[in-house]
Structure 1
Amino acid sequence: MNIKAQEYFIQLAKYQNFSKAAKELYISQTALSKIIAGLEKEVGEQLFIRNKNTVSLSNAGLAYLNFAKKTVDLYQKSRKVVKDSLLEKGILRIGLTALNDTLFNAIGILHQRFPYAQIELYSDQISAEAFSSSRLDMVMLPEDEAGDLCCCVIAVRNQLYAVMNVEHRLARNKVLDFSDLENEDLIFSIEENGRLDTAYEYCVHAGFTPKVSFLYNDSKYQMDLILNSSAIAISFNLFRIFRESMDGLISIPINISRPIHDRLVLAYHPENKNPLIGKLIHCVESARITRQKARYDTFL
Protein backbone atom coordinates (compact mmCIF):
# COMPACT_ATOMS: atom_id res chain seq x y z
CA MET A 1 0.00 0.00 0.00
CA ASN A 2 1.36 3.40 -1.03
CA ILE A 3 1.19 5.91 1.85
CA LYS A 4 1.62 8.82 -0.55
CA ALA A 5 -1.46 7.69 -2.45
CA GLN A 6 -3.44 7.77 0.80
CA GLU A 7 -2.19 11.30 1.55
CA TYR A 8 -3.08 12.46 -1.98
CA PHE A 9 -6.54 10.90 -1.66
CA ILE A 10 -7.14 12.80 1.61
CA GLN A 11 -6.08 16.11 0.04
CA LEU A 12 -8.32 15.62 -3.00
CA ALA A 13 -11.23 14.80 -0.69
CA LYS A 14 -10.48 18.02 1.18
CA TYR A 15 -10.24 20.37 -1.83
CA GLN A 16 -12.73 18.53 -4.10
CA ASN A 17 -10.78 19.83 -7.08
CA PHE A 18 -7.84 18.20 -8.90
CA SER A 19 -6.17 21.51 -9.71
CA LYS A 20 -6.28 22.89 -6.14
CA ALA A 21 -5.21 19.59 -4.59
CA ALA A 22 -2.33 19.18 -7.07
CA LYS A 23 -1.13 22.71 -6.32
CA GLU A 24 -1.17 21.99 -2.59
CA LEU A 25 0.73 18.74 -3.12
CA TYR A 26 3.28 20.29 -5.52
CA ILE A 27 2.58 17.77 -8.27
CA SER A 28 0.93 18.06 -11.67
CA GLN A 29 -2.80 17.60 -12.09
CA THR A 30 -2.12 14.75 -14.53
CA ALA A 31 0.10 12.95 -12.00
CA LEU A 32 -2.54 13.30 -9.28
CA SER A 33 -5.23 11.98 -11.61
CA LYS A 34 -3.13 8.89 -12.41
CA ILE A 35 -2.42 8.23 -8.72
CA ILE A 36 -6.12 8.43 -7.80
CA ALA A 37 -7.07 6.22 -10.75
CA GLY A 38 -4.45 3.68 -9.63
CA LEU A 39 -5.80 3.76 -6.08
CA GLU A 40 -9.35 3.18 -7.33
CA LYS A 41 -8.12 0.24 -9.39
CA GLU A 42 -6.32 -1.20 -6.34
CA VAL A 43 -9.42 -0.80 -4.14
CA GLY A 44 -11.76 -2.00 -6.86
CA GLU A 45 -14.21 0.87 -6.32
CA GLN A 46 -14.82 4.35 -7.71
CA LEU A 47 -13.82 6.66 -4.85
CA PHE A 48 -14.73 9.99 -6.49
CA ILE A 49 -17.61 11.20 -8.60
CA ARG A 50 -16.10 13.41 -11.32
CA ASN A 51 -17.99 16.55 -12.29
CA LYS A 52 -16.90 19.25 -14.74
CA ASN A 53 -14.78 21.32 -12.33
CA THR A 54 -15.10 19.47 -9.05
CA VAL A 55 -15.11 16.01 -7.56
CA SER A 56 -17.04 14.57 -4.65
CA LEU A 57 -16.64 11.41 -2.63
CA SER A 58 -18.72 8.41 -3.62
CA ASN A 59 -20.21 6.18 -0.94
CA ALA A 60 -17.15 3.95 -1.26
CA GLY A 61 -14.95 7.06 -1.05
CA LEU A 62 -16.63 8.19 2.16
CA ALA A 63 -15.96 4.80 3.73
CA TYR A 64 -12.38 4.73 2.43
CA LEU A 65 -11.59 8.25 3.75
CA ASN A 66 -11.75 7.08 7.36
CA PHE A 67 -9.43 4.16 6.56
CA ALA A 68 -6.97 6.42 4.72
CA LYS A 69 -6.78 8.89 7.62
CA LYS A 70 -6.14 6.08 10.12
CA THR A 71 -3.46 4.60 7.85
CA VAL A 72 -1.61 7.91 7.44
CA ASP A 73 -1.90 8.66 11.16
CA LEU A 74 -0.48 5.24 12.05
CA TYR A 75 2.38 5.72 9.58
CA GLN A 76 3.26 9.13 11.04
CA LYS A 77 3.16 7.75 14.58
CA SER A 78 5.44 4.87 13.60
CA ARG A 79 7.94 7.33 12.13
CA LYS A 80 7.84 9.36 15.33
CA VAL A 81 8.50 6.24 17.42
CA VAL A 82 11.58 5.45 15.33
CA LYS A 83 12.81 9.06 15.41
CA ASP A 84 12.30 9.38 19.16
CA SER A 85 14.21 6.14 19.64
CA LEU A 86 17.13 7.59 17.67
CA LEU A 87 16.97 10.75 19.78
CA GLU A 88 16.80 8.86 23.06
CA LYS A 89 19.82 6.71 22.25
CA GLY A 90 21.63 9.12 19.96
CA ILE A 91 25.04 10.72 20.34
CA LEU A 92 25.83 14.37 19.65
CA ARG A 93 29.51 15.33 19.42
CA ILE A 94 30.33 19.03 19.81
CA GLY A 95 33.70 20.74 19.45
CA LEU A 96 34.13 23.78 21.69
CA THR A 97 36.47 26.70 21.14
CA ALA A 98 35.10 28.61 24.15
CA LEU A 99 32.87 28.10 27.16
CA ASN A 100 29.45 29.66 26.87
CA ASP A 101 26.47 30.03 29.21
CA THR A 102 23.81 29.79 26.49
CA LEU A 103 25.26 26.59 25.06
CA PHE A 104 25.54 24.87 28.43
CA ASN A 105 22.01 25.94 29.38
CA ALA A 106 20.80 24.55 26.03
CA ILE A 107 22.60 21.26 26.65
CA GLY A 108 20.89 21.11 30.04
CA ILE A 109 17.48 21.57 28.40
CA LEU A 110 18.33 18.91 25.80
CA HIS A 111 19.30 16.47 28.55
CA GLN A 112 15.99 17.09 30.34
CA ARG A 113 14.04 16.36 27.15
CA PHE A 114 16.15 13.40 26.05
CA PRO A 115 17.80 12.01 29.21
CA TYR A 116 19.27 8.98 27.45
CA ALA A 117 20.88 10.92 24.62
CA GLN A 118 24.65 11.11 24.93
CA ILE A 119 26.35 14.51 24.57
CA GLU A 120 30.10 14.45 24.01
CA LEU A 121 32.05 17.71 24.33
CA TYR A 122 35.53 18.15 22.90
CA SER A 123 37.62 21.16 23.82
CA ASP A 124 40.01 20.89 20.86
CA GLN A 125 40.58 24.15 19.00
CA ILE A 126 39.31 23.23 15.55
CA SER A 127 39.03 25.11 12.27
CA ALA A 128 36.28 24.85 9.68
CA GLU A 129 38.72 22.94 7.44
CA ALA A 130 39.53 20.40 10.14
CA PHE A 131 35.84 20.05 10.96
CA SER A 132 35.15 18.69 7.48
CA SER A 133 37.20 15.56 8.23
CA SER A 134 36.33 15.19 11.91
CA ARG A 135 33.80 12.94 13.61
CA LEU A 136 32.13 15.92 15.28
CA ASP A 137 28.51 16.77 14.55
CA MET A 138 28.83 20.45 15.45
CA VAL A 139 31.63 22.86 16.25
CA MET A 140 31.74 26.33 17.79
CA LEU A 141 33.41 28.83 15.45
CA PRO A 142 33.57 32.58 14.85
CA GLU A 143 30.86 33.33 12.30
CA ASP A 144 33.31 34.70 9.73
CA GLU A 145 35.21 31.38 9.74
CA ALA A 146 32.17 29.15 9.22
CA GLY A 147 32.14 29.48 5.43
CA ASP A 148 29.42 27.40 3.76
CA LEU A 149 28.53 25.46 6.90
CA CYS A 150 25.03 25.77 8.34
CA CYS A 151 25.07 27.90 11.46
CA CYS A 152 23.15 28.64 14.63
CA VAL A 153 24.26 31.82 16.43
CA ILE A 154 25.18 30.84 19.97
CA ALA A 155 26.74 33.96 21.47
CA VAL A 156 27.96 37.48 20.86
CA ARG A 157 31.37 38.38 22.22
CA ASN A 158 31.03 42.03 23.23
CA GLN A 159 33.12 42.50 26.38
CA LEU A 160 36.57 41.54 27.64
CA TYR A 161 36.92 40.37 31.23
CA ALA A 162 39.86 39.86 33.54
CA VAL A 163 39.26 36.63 35.46
CA MET A 164 41.31 36.23 38.62
CA ASN A 165 41.57 34.68 42.04
CA VAL A 166 39.44 36.55 44.59
CA GLU A 167 42.60 37.05 46.68
CA HIS A 168 44.33 38.95 43.88
CA ARG A 169 45.24 42.56 44.71
CA LEU A 170 43.10 43.79 41.75
CA ALA A 171 40.04 41.76 42.73
CA ARG A 172 38.30 44.65 44.51
CA ASN A 173 38.13 46.80 41.38
CA LYS A 174 34.77 47.25 39.65
CA VAL A 175 36.43 47.83 36.26
CA LEU A 176 40.00 47.64 34.94
CA ASP A 177 42.06 49.43 32.31
CA PHE A 178 44.75 47.70 30.27
CA SER A 179 47.30 49.79 32.15
CA ASP A 180 46.28 47.94 35.33
CA LEU A 181 47.28 44.66 33.68
CA GLU A 182 50.54 45.77 32.10
CA ASN A 183 52.86 43.95 34.52
CA GLU A 184 50.54 41.06 35.39
CA ASP A 185 51.08 37.42 34.45
CA LEU A 186 48.34 36.67 31.92
CA ILE A 187 46.67 33.50 30.67
CA PHE A 188 45.41 32.85 27.12
CA SER A 189 44.22 29.84 25.17
CA ILE A 190 46.19 28.61 22.18
CA GLU A 191 44.87 26.90 19.04
CA GLU A 192 46.32 23.81 17.36
CA ASN A 193 48.03 25.99 14.75
CA GLY A 194 49.85 27.92 17.48
CA ARG A 195 47.67 31.00 17.17
CA LEU A 196 46.58 32.73 20.36
CA ASP A 197 42.87 33.29 20.85
CA THR A 198 40.94 36.35 19.69
CA ALA A 199 41.02 37.96 23.14
CA TYR A 200 44.79 38.36 22.71
CA GLU A 201 44.29 40.02 19.33
CA TYR A 202 41.84 42.52 20.81
CA CYS A 203 44.39 43.42 23.45
CA VAL A 204 47.04 44.08 20.78
CA HIS A 205 44.63 46.11 18.63
CA ALA A 206 43.84 48.20 21.68
CA GLY A 207 47.53 49.10 21.97
CA PHE A 208 48.22 46.72 24.85
CA THR A 209 50.82 43.97 24.46
CA PRO A 210 49.96 41.29 27.03
CA LYS A 211 52.59 39.56 29.15
CA VAL A 212 51.74 35.96 28.30
CA SER A 213 52.82 33.70 31.15
CA PHE A 214 50.53 30.69 30.67
CA LEU A 215 48.89 29.03 27.65
CA TYR A 216 46.20 26.35 27.74
CA ASN A 217 44.23 24.29 25.22
CA ASP A 218 41.55 23.10 27.63
CA SER A 219 39.33 25.40 29.69
CA LYS A 220 39.68 23.27 32.82
CA TYR A 221 43.38 24.17 32.88
CA GLN A 222 42.46 27.85 32.75
CA MET A 223 40.39 27.51 35.93
CA ASP A 224 43.15 25.56 37.69
CA LEU A 225 45.75 28.17 36.77
CA ILE A 226 43.63 31.04 38.07
CA LEU A 227 42.76 29.30 41.32
CA ASN A 228 46.32 28.23 42.07
CA SER A 229 48.35 31.24 40.96
CA SER A 230 48.31 35.02 40.77
CA ALA A 231 47.90 34.91 36.98
CA ILE A 232 44.91 36.57 35.30
CA ALA A 233 42.97 35.20 32.34
CA ILE A 234 41.68 37.66 29.75
CA SER A 235 38.60 36.32 28.02
CA PHE A 236 35.22 37.29 26.64
CA ASN A 237 31.81 37.49 28.27
CA LEU A 238 30.87 33.97 27.21
CA PHE A 239 30.88 32.04 30.47
CA ARG A 240 30.59 34.80 33.04
CA ILE A 241 27.69 33.27 35.00
CA PHE A 242 29.67 30.07 35.56
CA ARG A 243 32.80 31.93 36.64
CA GLU A 244 30.91 34.17 39.02
CA SER A 245 29.26 31.16 40.62
CA MET A 246 32.62 29.53 41.35
CA ASP A 247 34.10 30.16 44.76
CA GLY A 248 37.52 31.69 44.43
CA LEU A 249 37.03 33.39 41.03
CA ILE A 250 35.94 36.87 40.02
CA SER A 251 35.36 38.44 36.59
CA ILE A 252 36.05 42.15 36.15
CA PRO A 253 35.20 44.04 32.93
CA ILE A 254 38.05 45.72 31.04
CA ASN A 255 37.71 49.16 29.47
CA ILE A 256 38.27 48.90 25.73
CA SER A 257 37.79 51.67 23.19
CA ARG A 258 37.42 49.43 20.13
CA PRO A 259 33.86 48.03 19.85
CA ILE A 260 33.62 44.26 20.05
CA HIS A 261 30.77 42.48 18.31
CA ASP A 262 32.01 39.07 17.27
CA ARG A 263 29.42 36.34 16.84
CA LEU A 264 30.10 32.73 17.69
CA VAL A 265 28.07 30.05 15.95
CA LEU A 266 27.45 26.35 16.25
CA ALA A 267 28.30 25.14 12.75
CA TYR A 268 27.27 21.85 11.17
CA HIS A 269 27.25 20.19 7.77
CA PRO A 270 23.86 20.41 5.99
CA GLU A 271 24.08 16.74 4.98
CA ASN A 272 24.44 15.61 8.61
CA LYS A 273 21.07 14.02 9.47
CA ASN A 274 21.68 13.56 13.20
CA PRO A 275 18.25 14.53 14.64
CA LEU A 276 19.87 15.82 17.83
CA ILE A 277 21.35 18.75 15.88
CA GLY A 278 17.92 20.27 15.25
CA LYS A 279 16.83 19.54 18.81
CA LEU A 280 19.88 21.32 20.24
CA ILE A 281 19.21 24.36 18.04
CA HIS A 282 15.67 24.54 19.44
CA CYS A 283 17.12 24.26 22.95
CA VAL A 284 19.51 27.14 22.20
CA GLU A 285 16.51 29.30 21.33
CA SER A 286 14.73 28.18 24.51
CA ALA A 287 17.80 29.02 26.60
CA ARG A 288 18.08 32.44 24.95
CA ILE A 289 14.40 33.24 25.62
CA THR A 290 14.73 32.12 29.25
CA ARG A 291 17.79 34.30 29.70
CA GLN A 292 16.12 37.34 28.13
CA LYS A 293 13.08 36.86 30.37
CA ALA A 294 15.33 36.66 33.44
CA ARG A 295 16.97 39.94 32.46
CA TYR A 296 13.57 41.55 31.93
CA ASP A 297 12.31 40.32 35.32
CA THR A 298 15.48 41.68 36.96
CA PHE A 299 14.93 45.05 35.28
CA LEU A 300 11.35 45.18 36.62
Structure 2
Amino acid sequence: MATATANGITIEYDVLGKADDPPMLLIMGLGAQLIDWPQEFCERLAGRGYRVIRFDNRDAGLSGGCDEAGVPDLAAVFGGDLRTVPYGLGDMVGDTIGLLDALGIESAHVVAASMGGMIAQQLTISHPRRVRSLCSIMSTTGDRTVGQPTPQAAMLLARPPATNRDEAISNALVGARLLSSPGFPVGDDELLRRATAKVDRAYRPAGTARQLAAVLAAPDRTEQLRKVAAPTAVIHGAEDPLIGVSGGRATADAIPKAELLVVPGMGHDLPRPVWPQFIDAIERVARRGEAR
Protein backbone atom coordinates (compact mmCIF):
# COMPACT_ATOMS: atom_id res chain seq x y z
CA MET A 1 0.00 0.00 0.00
CA ALA A 2 1.04 3.61 -0.49
CA THR A 3 0.04 7.17 0.44
CA ALA A 4 -0.70 10.29 -1.57
CA THR A 5 -1.56 13.84 -0.61
CA ALA A 6 -4.98 14.73 -1.99
CA ASN A 7 -7.00 17.86 -1.21
CA GLY A 8 -4.77 18.48 1.80
CA ILE A 9 -5.43 14.97 3.21
CA THR A 10 -3.04 12.02 3.33
CA ILE A 11 -4.80 9.18 1.53
CA GLU A 12 -3.85 5.53 1.97
CA TYR A 13 -4.39 3.53 -1.21
CA ASP A 14 -3.63 0.25 -2.93
CA VAL A 15 -3.35 -0.68 -6.62
CA LEU A 16 -3.83 -4.02 -8.36
CA GLY A 17 -3.47 -4.77 -12.06
CA LYS A 18 -1.35 -3.58 -14.94
CA ALA A 19 -0.29 0.05 -15.09
CA ASP A 20 -1.52 0.47 -18.67
CA ASP A 21 -4.97 -1.04 -18.09
CA PRO A 22 -7.99 1.30 -17.80
CA PRO A 23 -8.19 2.61 -14.21
CA MET A 24 -11.06 1.55 -11.97
CA LEU A 25 -11.50 3.45 -8.69
CA LEU A 26 -13.29 1.76 -5.77
CA ILE A 27 -14.88 3.99 -3.10
CA MET A 28 -16.06 2.45 0.18
CA GLY A 29 -18.77 3.46 2.61
CA LEU A 30 -19.39 4.88 6.06
CA GLY A 31 -16.62 4.00 8.51
CA ALA A 32 -15.35 1.39 6.05
CA GLN A 33 -11.78 0.82 4.95
CA LEU A 34 -10.14 -0.22 1.72
CA ILE A 35 -9.91 -3.78 3.08
CA ASP A 36 -13.71 -3.89 2.98
CA TRP A 37 -13.20 -4.40 -0.75
CA PRO A 38 -12.12 -8.07 -0.53
CA GLN A 39 -8.71 -8.78 -2.03
CA GLU A 40 -10.03 -11.57 -4.24
CA PHE A 41 -12.87 -9.38 -5.52
CA CYS A 42 -10.32 -6.76 -6.55
CA GLU A 43 -8.11 -9.41 -8.13
CA ARG A 44 -11.05 -10.64 -10.19
CA LEU A 45 -11.73 -7.11 -11.43
CA ALA A 46 -8.05 -6.71 -12.29
CA GLY A 47 -8.25 -10.03 -14.12
CA ARG A 48 -10.89 -8.52 -16.40
CA GLY A 49 -8.28 -6.01 -17.58
CA TYR A 50 -8.54 -3.06 -15.16
CA ARG A 51 -6.08 -1.23 -12.96
CA VAL A 52 -7.97 -1.39 -9.67
CA ILE A 53 -7.42 1.34 -7.06
CA ARG A 54 -8.98 1.16 -3.60
CA PHE A 55 -8.40 3.67 -0.83
CA ASP A 56 -9.34 4.76 2.67
CA ASN A 57 -11.67 7.76 2.73
CA ARG A 58 -10.74 10.67 4.98
CA ASP A 59 -11.41 9.88 8.65
CA ALA A 60 -11.27 6.13 7.99
CA GLY A 61 -8.60 3.46 7.93
CA LEU A 62 -5.09 4.88 7.63
CA SER A 63 -5.96 8.07 5.75
CA GLY A 64 -5.81 11.49 7.36
CA GLY A 65 -8.75 12.99 9.13
CA CYS A 66 -10.23 15.95 10.92
CA ASP A 67 -9.79 15.05 14.57
CA GLU A 68 -9.47 18.71 15.49
CA ALA A 69 -13.15 19.14 14.53
CA GLY A 70 -14.33 16.83 17.30
CA VAL A 71 -17.61 14.91 17.20
CA PRO A 72 -20.56 16.56 15.45
CA ASP A 73 -24.00 16.87 17.01
CA LEU A 74 -25.74 14.29 14.82
CA ALA A 75 -29.20 14.89 16.25
CA ALA A 76 -28.89 18.57 15.40
CA VAL A 77 -27.55 17.78 11.94
CA PHE A 78 -30.48 15.45 11.24
CA GLY A 79 -32.79 18.27 12.25
CA GLY A 80 -31.15 20.67 9.79
CA ASP A 81 -28.66 22.48 12.05
CA LEU A 82 -25.36 22.04 10.18
CA ARG A 83 -23.12 24.16 12.39
CA THR A 84 -21.14 21.17 13.71
CA VAL A 85 -20.62 19.53 10.29
CA PRO A 86 -16.87 19.83 9.57
CA TYR A 87 -17.02 18.83 5.90
CA GLY A 88 -19.41 17.57 3.25
CA LEU A 89 -19.56 14.95 0.54
CA GLY A 90 -18.18 17.60 -1.82
CA ASP A 91 -14.96 17.67 0.20
CA MET A 92 -14.72 13.88 -0.08
CA VAL A 93 -15.23 14.26 -3.84
CA GLY A 94 -12.28 16.67 -3.70
CA ASP A 95 -10.22 13.98 -1.96
CA THR A 96 -11.10 11.54 -4.73
CA ILE A 97 -10.18 13.99 -7.49
CA GLY A 98 -6.95 14.74 -5.65
CA LEU A 99 -6.06 11.06 -5.53
CA LEU A 100 -6.71 10.68 -9.27
CA ASP A 101 -4.53 13.74 -9.89
CA ALA A 102 -1.76 12.36 -7.68
CA LEU A 103 -1.81 9.11 -9.66
CA GLY A 104 -1.84 10.93 -12.99
CA ILE A 105 -5.27 9.59 -13.92
CA GLU A 106 -7.43 11.84 -16.08
CA SER A 107 -10.57 9.68 -15.83
CA ALA A 108 -11.57 6.35 -14.31
CA HIS A 109 -14.35 3.84 -14.07
CA VAL A 110 -15.86 4.36 -10.61
CA VAL A 111 -17.31 1.56 -8.48
CA ALA A 112 -18.67 2.63 -5.11
CA ALA A 113 -20.63 1.20 -2.19
CA SER A 114 -23.03 2.80 0.32
CA MET A 115 -21.68 6.25 1.32
CA GLY A 116 -19.08 5.67 -1.39
CA GLY A 117 -21.94 5.54 -3.88
CA MET A 118 -23.08 8.96 -2.68
CA ILE A 119 -19.56 10.34 -3.14
CA ALA A 120 -19.36 8.72 -6.58
CA GLN A 121 -22.73 10.14 -7.64
CA GLN A 122 -21.62 13.64 -6.65
CA LEU A 123 -18.27 13.08 -8.36
CA THR A 124 -20.07 12.14 -11.58
CA ILE A 125 -22.35 15.18 -11.30
CA SER A 126 -19.60 17.69 -10.49
CA HIS A 127 -16.76 16.28 -12.61
CA PRO A 128 -18.36 14.32 -15.46
CA ARG A 129 -15.18 14.19 -17.52
CA ARG A 130 -13.36 12.33 -14.75
CA VAL A 131 -15.85 9.43 -14.73
CA ARG A 132 -15.84 6.93 -17.60
CA SER A 133 -18.55 4.76 -16.06
CA LEU A 134 -20.34 4.52 -12.71
CA CYS A 135 -21.44 1.56 -10.62
CA SER A 136 -23.42 2.60 -7.53
CA ILE A 137 -23.84 -0.28 -5.07
CA MET A 138 -26.28 -0.31 -2.11
CA SER A 139 -26.54 3.47 -2.13
CA THR A 140 -29.18 6.16 -2.56
CA THR A 141 -29.88 9.62 -3.96
CA GLY A 142 -30.01 11.75 -0.84
CA ASP A 143 -33.81 11.88 -0.96
CA ARG A 144 -34.80 11.01 2.62
CA THR A 145 -38.09 9.45 1.51
CA VAL A 146 -36.22 6.52 -0.09
CA GLY A 147 -33.53 4.12 1.09
CA GLN A 148 -34.59 4.35 4.71
CA PRO A 149 -32.99 1.97 7.26
CA THR A 150 -34.85 -0.48 9.42
CA PRO A 151 -35.18 0.60 13.08
CA GLN A 152 -32.57 -2.00 14.06
CA ALA A 153 -30.07 -0.72 11.48
CA ALA A 154 -30.71 2.89 12.47
CA MET A 155 -29.83 1.97 16.05
CA LEU A 156 -26.39 0.84 14.88
CA LEU A 157 -25.66 4.39 13.75
CA ALA A 158 -26.69 5.79 17.14
CA ARG A 159 -24.70 3.31 19.22
CA PRO A 160 -22.05 4.87 21.50
CA PRO A 161 -18.43 4.09 20.61
CA ALA A 162 -16.62 1.20 22.23
CA THR A 163 -14.20 1.89 25.05
CA ASN A 164 -11.76 -0.96 24.37
CA ARG A 165 -10.66 -3.39 21.66
CA ASP A 166 -12.83 -6.32 22.74
CA GLU A 167 -15.93 -4.14 22.85
CA ALA A 168 -15.10 -2.66 19.45
CA ILE A 169 -14.75 -6.12 17.90
CA SER A 170 -17.96 -7.28 19.57
CA ASN A 171 -19.86 -4.25 18.26
CA ALA A 172 -18.44 -4.77 14.76
CA LEU A 173 -19.53 -8.40 14.85
CA VAL A 174 -23.06 -7.49 15.92
CA GLY A 175 -23.25 -4.93 13.11
CA ALA A 176 -21.95 -7.40 10.54
CA ARG A 177 -24.54 -9.97 11.56
CA LEU A 178 -27.36 -7.44 11.23
CA LEU A 179 -26.25 -6.07 7.86
CA SER A 180 -25.14 -9.31 6.20
CA SER A 181 -27.16 -10.99 3.48
CA PRO A 182 -29.83 -13.42 4.74
CA GLY A 183 -29.75 -15.26 1.44
CA PHE A 184 -25.96 -15.70 1.54
CA PRO A 185 -25.09 -16.47 5.16
CA VAL A 186 -21.53 -16.12 6.42
CA GLY A 187 -20.30 -18.08 9.42
CA ASP A 188 -19.47 -16.34 12.69
CA ASP A 189 -15.80 -17.33 12.41
CA GLU A 190 -15.45 -15.43 9.15
CA LEU A 191 -17.42 -12.45 10.44
CA LEU A 192 -15.21 -12.37 13.53
CA ARG A 193 -12.07 -12.52 11.37
CA ARG A 194 -13.24 -9.54 9.34
CA ALA A 195 -14.29 -7.54 12.41
CA THR A 196 -10.97 -8.16 14.13
CA ALA A 197 -8.98 -7.19 11.03
CA LYS A 198 -10.87 -3.91 10.71
CA VAL A 199 -10.57 -2.94 14.38
CA ASP A 200 -6.90 -3.85 14.57
CA ARG A 201 -6.11 -1.86 11.41
CA ALA A 202 -7.96 1.27 12.51
CA TYR A 203 -10.80 2.11 14.90
CA ARG A 204 -12.02 5.69 14.44
CA PRO A 205 -15.56 6.22 15.73
CA ALA A 206 -15.26 10.02 15.79
CA GLY A 207 -14.25 9.93 12.13
CA THR A 208 -17.27 7.78 11.32
CA ALA A 209 -19.50 10.32 13.08
CA ARG A 210 -18.03 13.11 10.96
CA GLN A 211 -18.62 11.07 7.79
CA LEU A 212 -22.20 10.43 8.88
CA ALA A 213 -22.69 14.16 9.42
CA ALA A 214 -21.54 14.73 5.83
CA VAL A 215 -24.11 12.20 4.60
CA LEU A 216 -26.92 13.74 6.66
CA ALA A 217 -26.04 17.24 5.48
CA ALA A 218 -25.97 16.31 1.79
CA PRO A 219 -28.82 17.60 -0.38
CA ASP A 220 -31.03 15.45 -2.58
CA ARG A 221 -29.11 14.66 -5.79
CA THR A 222 -32.09 13.36 -7.79
CA GLU A 223 -32.49 16.25 -10.23
CA GLN A 224 -28.75 16.47 -10.86
CA LEU A 225 -28.57 12.72 -11.45
CA ARG A 226 -31.03 13.12 -14.32
CA LYS A 227 -28.22 14.86 -16.24
CA VAL A 228 -25.63 12.09 -15.76
CA ALA A 229 -24.36 10.82 -19.12
CA ALA A 230 -21.85 8.22 -17.89
CA PRO A 231 -22.91 4.60 -18.45
CA THR A 232 -24.24 3.48 -15.08
CA ALA A 233 -25.08 0.28 -13.24
CA VAL A 234 -26.98 0.30 -9.94
CA ILE A 235 -26.72 -2.78 -7.70
CA HIS A 236 -28.79 -3.21 -4.56
CA GLY A 237 -29.81 -5.95 -2.19
CA ALA A 238 -33.50 -6.71 -1.93
CA GLU A 239 -33.04 -7.29 1.82
CA ASP A 240 -30.76 -4.33 2.59
CA PRO A 241 -31.56 -3.17 6.16
CA LEU A 242 -29.32 -0.08 6.19
CA ILE A 243 -30.23 1.53 2.86
CA GLY A 244 -33.53 0.10 1.72
CA VAL A 245 -33.81 -1.13 -1.86
CA SER A 246 -35.99 1.88 -2.72
CA GLY A 247 -32.76 3.92 -2.60
CA GLY A 248 -31.24 1.84 -5.36
CA ARG A 249 -34.42 1.93 -7.42
CA ALA A 250 -34.58 5.71 -7.08
CA THR A 251 -30.96 6.01 -8.18
CA ALA A 252 -31.58 3.90 -11.28
CA ASP A 253 -34.79 5.80 -12.05
CA ALA A 254 -32.95 9.13 -11.86
CA ILE A 255 -29.93 8.27 -14.04
CA PRO A 256 -30.75 7.98 -17.74
CA LYS A 257 -30.39 4.45 -19.15
CA ALA A 258 -29.02 3.08 -15.85
CA GLU A 259 -28.93 -0.70 -15.54
CA LEU A 260 -30.54 -1.91 -12.30
CA LEU A 261 -29.60 -5.19 -10.64
CA VAL A 262 -31.65 -6.02 -7.54
CA VAL A 263 -30.26 -9.13 -5.85
CA PRO A 264 -32.72 -11.30 -3.91
CA GLY A 265 -31.41 -12.29 -0.48
CA MET A 266 -28.68 -9.62 -0.45
CA GLY A 267 -28.31 -7.29 2.53
CA HIS A 268 -25.81 -4.47 3.04
CA ASP A 269 -22.62 -6.31 2.14
CA LEU A 270 -20.81 -7.88 -0.81
CA PRO A 271 -21.80 -11.56 -0.69
CA ARG A 272 -19.22 -13.76 -2.38
CA PRO A 273 -21.70 -15.91 -4.36
CA VAL A 274 -22.92 -12.75 -6.15
CA TRP A 275 -19.47 -11.51 -7.17
CA PRO A 276 -19.77 -12.90 -10.71
CA GLN A 277 -23.01 -10.91 -11.23
CA PHE A 278 -21.41 -7.79 -9.77
CA ILE A 279 -18.30 -8.06 -11.89
CA ASP A 280 -20.26 -8.78 -15.07
CA ALA A 281 -22.43 -5.68 -14.48
CA ILE A 282 -19.39 -3.53 -13.70
CA GLU A 283 -17.65 -4.74 -16.85
CA ARG A 284 -20.70 -4.13 -19.03
CA VAL A 285 -20.93 -0.46 -18.13
CA ALA A 286 -17.16 -0.08 -18.20
CA ARG A 287 -17.09 -1.35 -21.77
CA ARG A 288 -19.80 1.14 -22.65
CA GLY A 289 -17.73 3.84 -21.00
CA GLU A 290 -14.64 2.88 -23.02
CA ALA A 291 -16.68 3.01 -26.22
CA ARG A 292 -17.90 6.59 -25.68
Note whether the superposition's TM-score is higher than 0.5.
no
TM-score, with length taken from structure 1: 0.26
- Provide the TM-score with structure 2 as the length reference: 0.26
